[in-house]
A and B are shown apart, each in its own frame.
Chain A
Amino acid sequence: MSEPLLEVTDLVKHFPVKSSGFVRRTIGQVQAIDGISFSIEKGESLGLVGESGCGKSTTGRVLTKLYEPTSGSMKFDGVDLAPLSQKQMLPHRKDIQLIFQDPYSSLNPRHTVGSIVATPLRTRQVVPENKTMDRVKELLEVVGLNPEHYNRYPSDFSGGQRQRIGIARALALQPKLMIADEPVSALDVSIQAQVINLLQDLQREFGIAFLFIAHDLAIVRHFCPRIAVMYLGKIVEIGDRDTIYERPHHPYTQALLSAVPDVKQAEVGGRRDRIRLTGDVPSPINPPSGCRFRTRCWKAQDICAKEEPPLLQIGRGPSAGTGHQVACHFAEPNTSIIATPQSHSA
């Protein structure tokens, strides 16, 4: 099998915490990402899920070198991007593009849609100047906007349409990898599906690989055949969609899935019995020793505080390389998380 498009190994990103005062000494580290490894094949989508502060967005930003990684490697198309300077990074940038969450703040309100989408084309000079507008119109058409509206401003468009403009801009340089950071969470429910379908069409048509970062588990399941679950800067479980959703092994994955409110529950009314996590996610400045989830885990024992569980392969399938990995001392499958609706006697 050929090399994956992106291979991330032991990626770490720590942000220093400085003391206040004249001499700003480093007094701690926010361990936003702490040694994560994963790979994405050409044209594949990997979903990255987790709660706020788990490091999923930081991962996207490190991959585009908006943040410098603290250590680790990220091999993209055979080249390790981690040690590259911003200048050396330049030729690779066009291959990795970002789609942002908030379509209201990610577009310059004073630029026309045409100039927003044309900017990457112009800076890269991928098309001659006299062809630029033709290409812009083409791109607008691809994302389902009226190409004649290239001279309008972002404020003339609705949220869903603005997100399309952002997608057209990301598409302009024909990237190999798109990093979509919560691409639909700011949109209305009826609009989300439009944008998801558009992204799927683009992926199919242009063979773009996706790192799809989201907190909505149903949308991630719909978009990504493979999914990684993050907690406090670590990947705790990674595997294919069916495994993660039907046979989750990590307690956190199980709790996360069981917390999703389910519209099907309406059939019986009331709420599902679910795994109830107590408390909040601990601070990434001072994460718990050993397993980071142990403070909220109902399975935690002494070993969990002493030893950090490594991300280990579960089972030995024919495709062992891309198989199912879990980081838990007491990993065991739970197949009844996403079950049929439950009647409830309150």
Chain B
Amino acid sequence: MTDMHHPSSTPAFLEVDDLTVRFPTRDGVVQAVTGLSYKVELGKTLGIVGESGSGKSVSSLAVMGLHDLERTDITGSIKVEGQEVVGLSENRMRKLRGNAVSMIFQDPLTALHPFFTIGDQIVEGYKAHHSGVSKKTARAKAVEMLERVGIPQPNRRVDDYPHQFSGGMRQRAMIAMSLVNDPKLIIADEPTTALDVTVQAQILDLLQELQRDFGSAIVIITHDLGVVAEMADEVLVMYGGRCVEHGGGKEVLTHPEMPYTAGLLSSVPDLVGDPRERLHPIPGTPPSLLSPPRGCAFNPRCGYTHLVPGEMCTRELPPLESGGRGSAHLKRCHLTDSGTVLAEQLPVYAGTAMDPGEPAGPTAEPDPTPKENAGE
């Protein structure tokens, strides 16, 4: 695990293969993640997009080994630098966590401990992975890290407590904490969601600078398509615990082949174009992971199921396979030529599917209030 700065010789730093995460609960088994596979190379950024409950955070917590194994069933394989992480003992996991792999959490106020100074928290991970570090060296390391993430007067601020930092500074401190051991893989779970846009821009800049300087692999988990568009080399869209679309960032965001991705893209307003144009929401609500819909998890909200013969969408789970745009772009959709259909129909997508006069496809809606569907 020493100097391995040869991105070309290590084809993928993180390899997730057929990852399945389930939580048995009193109400049944929550199928949080099902059959998820992806790879991230050093120096590259993967963006995982999805709504709450899509499994995006759960899958990355599994990479960090942060699930309570007594309450979680994890199958499949997660390889970090070739080393299998699933089933690794807690002791071995600790050697990895915060060292080669680290995580940046969404809410810096709850992720930082209020009773310890920023400096102490930053070097905690450093001390854990370097035995016999003197107090002086540790402090110098904390100051260096704060300086690296752009905190002014790091010498003084290192002794501050989290409440003395503003939101943006806390997020910087957390990034400093996660970078203290020069990790080769950074998992950033909604790293800027709690921040204002001007501070968000600073943090995204910082992440990119650090990646350029240290060649780390980054997995950025977000619901913000704008952030993904600007940060990610590759995009993975999750829905109902499964990957539903996967490909190059530009490719997926400009030529979506899965109706859900297209729906997401057309439901966010834009800073250009006619503001009077109506938004095209996706009707309905995300599925329950306790009892996901049969067939394609998106079928109750999809406006294209009528184009697929034999009611396949409600009967059979579509495989994740390449559509019409090459083998690097995978989609989970029964509709052949879905890319072309979506490109043609994108503007009318909502107009037909969401007009109150016309019911939106099949009404197999497990939700207590199917009215929400027709409401739009």
Contacts and interface: CB of A to CB of B under 8 A. Distances in A.
Given A189-B264, A198-B375, A222 B369 contact: no
With a 10 A CB-CB cut-off, give which of A196, A258, A279 has the most chain B CB atoms: A279
Interface in B175-197: 196-197
B285 A221 contact: no
B282 A190 contact: yes
B212 interface: yes
Contact of A51 (B196, B233, B250, B281): B196
B201 A221 contact: no
Interface in A307-341: 338
Interface string B256-297: 000000011101111110010011111101100000000000
Contacts of A281: 166, 196
B57 to A, nearest CB: 14
B43 to A, nearest CB: 12
A277 B202 contact: yes
A219 interface: yes
A339 to B, nearest CB: 9
A51 B285 contact: no
A263 B196 contact: no
B200 interface: yes
Interface in A237-288: 241, 245, 255-272, 274, 276-281
Given A188-B51, A191-B285, A197 B376 contact: yes
A131 to B, nearest CB: 22
Given A144-B371, A222-B269, A277-B202, A189 B223 contact: yes
B229 A266 contact: yes
Contacts of A189: 51, 223, 225, 264, 267-268
With a 10 A CB-CB cut-off, give which of B52, B228, B230, B254 has the most chain A CB atoms: B230
Nearest to B267: A193
B229 A263 contact: yes
B376 A215 contact: no
B371 A190 contact: no
Nearest to A225: B275
Contacts of A264: 229, 270, 272
Chain B interface, >50% SS class: helix
A160 interface: yes
Given A197-B279, A279-B152, A346-B212, A260 B226 contact: yes
Nearest to A258: B201
A146 B197 contact: no
B369 A276 contact: no
B32 interface: no
Interface string A113-157: 000000000000000000000000000010111100100100011
Interface residues of A, number: 61
Given A52-B167, A194-B283, A256-B198, A266 B250 contact: yes
A131 B103 CA distance: 56
B205 interface: yes
With a 10 A CB-CB cut-off, give which of B166, B279, B374 has the most chain A CB atoms: B279
A263 B286 contact: no
B200 A259 contact: yes
A220 to B, nearest CB: 9
B208 A271 contact: yes
Contacts of B283: 194
Contact of B229 (A146, A157, A219, A262): A262
A215 B202 CA distance: 17
Contact of A263 (B167, B225, B301, B374): B225
Interface string A35-77: 0000000000000000110000000000000000000000000
Contact of B372 (A144, A192, A197, A263): A144
A270 B230 contact: yes
A190 B281 contact: yes
Chain A interface, >50% SS class: helix
A197 B267 CA distance: 10
Contacts of B268: 189, 192-193, 218, 263
B197 A51 contact: yes
B254 A266 contact: yes
Q: How large is the interface on B (under 10, 10 to 19, 20 to 34, 35 or more residues)?
A: 35 or more
Given A157-B368, A259-B200, A190 B51 contact: yes
A256 B197 contact: yes
A173 interface: no
Contact of A280 (B169, B223, B281): B169
Given A144-B376, A161-B372, A188-B51, A215 B229 contact: no
A115 B222 CA distance: 37
A338 B265 CA distance: 19
B107 interface: no
A257 B271 contact: yes
Interface string B303-322: 00000000000000000000
Contact of B369 (A161, A192, A245): A161
A144 B253 CA distance: 31
B281 A267 contact: no
Contacts of A257: 271
A214 B301 CA distance: 28
A145 to B, nearest CB: 6
A26 interface: no
With a 10 A CB-CB cut-off, give which of A189, A269, A346 has the most chain B CB atoms: A189
A86 interface: no
A218 B250 contact: no
A157 B376 CA distance: 17
Given A277-B198, A277-B202, 9 more contacts: A52-B167, A144-B374, A189-B225, A190-B267, A196-B269, A222-B269, A261-B227, A270-B230, A276-B201
27 contacts: A51-B197, A52-B167, A141-B371, A145-B375, A146-B371, A161-B369, A190-B51, A190-B263, A190-B267, A193-B280, A197-B278, A218-B268, A219-B269, A221-B269, A221-B275, A259-B200, A259-B201, A261-B204, A262-B229, A263-B226, A263-B253, A264-B272, A271-B230, A272-B230, A276-B202, A280-B169, A346-B208
Interface of B: 51-52, 152, 166-169, 196-202, 204-205, 208, 212, 223-231, 233, 249-250, 253-254, 263-265, 267-272, 275, 278-283, 285-286, 301, 367-372, 374-376
